[in-house]
Amino acid sequence: MQLTHENTHFEKKKFPITLVCDHIYFQQNIGSLFRIGEAFGIEKIIFIGKDIPLTLRKINKTSRSTHLQVPYTIIEETASAIDYLLENKYEIIALEIAETSTPINEVIVNKNQKIALLIGSEIAGISEPLLAIANQITHITMYGKNSSMNVVQATSIALYEITNRLNQ
């Protein structure tokens, strides 16, 4: 028998993870990031950029009301976001294919450290100034010809890996 939301046996947990979204503007992705963030028990989401389209009617279609459960904030300028992350002493993990990136299964997490998972825009990825402050840059190993995947699917894989490590 299929279980419903009311009768699953999943243990509710919160993890010290902040999802930092670098200029993500597609409303379906924004709604889905709320949904996946809630599913993995993250603390909050930070959106970097101006005019982030948080039209609740459109976001609710993909978020399934999780935008009401996951706190979020908008920081308009990248420099201000960098200051915030550094001042609050996050372990900054960038999810990006880069010259120095390592596979996600090799990412190092400390259970006593707040984590900022940086994810990039649908078009350009993570900006160079944000990549420059990352403590770790990680990628998802892929085996097809494509060298990228949708930001929500990539975030799902990364959150799965990071929360599993924090849960050990």
Q: What is the pLDDT along the chain (168 residues), one digit of tens a residue?
A: 887 767 777 788 999 999 999 999 999 999 999 999 999 999 999 999 998 888 777 777 777 777 878 999 999 999 999 999 999 999 999 999 999 999 999 999 999 999 999 999 988 999 999 999 999 999 999 999 887 899 999 999 999 999 999 998
36-166 domain in CATH 3.40.1280.10?
yes
Q: What is the pLDDT of residue 81?
A: 98
**Backbone dihedral region for residue 125 (phi beyond 0: left; psi -120 to 50: alpha; all else: beta):** left
d(CA 94, CA 126): 8
CA-wise closest residue to 91 among 123, 113, 68:
113
Residues paired with residue 46 on neighbouring β-strands, in sequence order: 20, 73
CA-wise closest residue to 150 among 73, 90, 158, 14:
158
Query: Is 70:107 a contact under the CB 8 Å cutoff?
Result: no
**Main-chain phi, psi angles of 132, to 5 degrees:** -65, -25
Q: Where are the domains of the chain?
A: 36-166
Question: CB under 8 Å to 95, separation ≥6 — which residues?
Answer: 104, 117, 118, 119, 120, 126, 138, 139, 140, 154, 155, 158
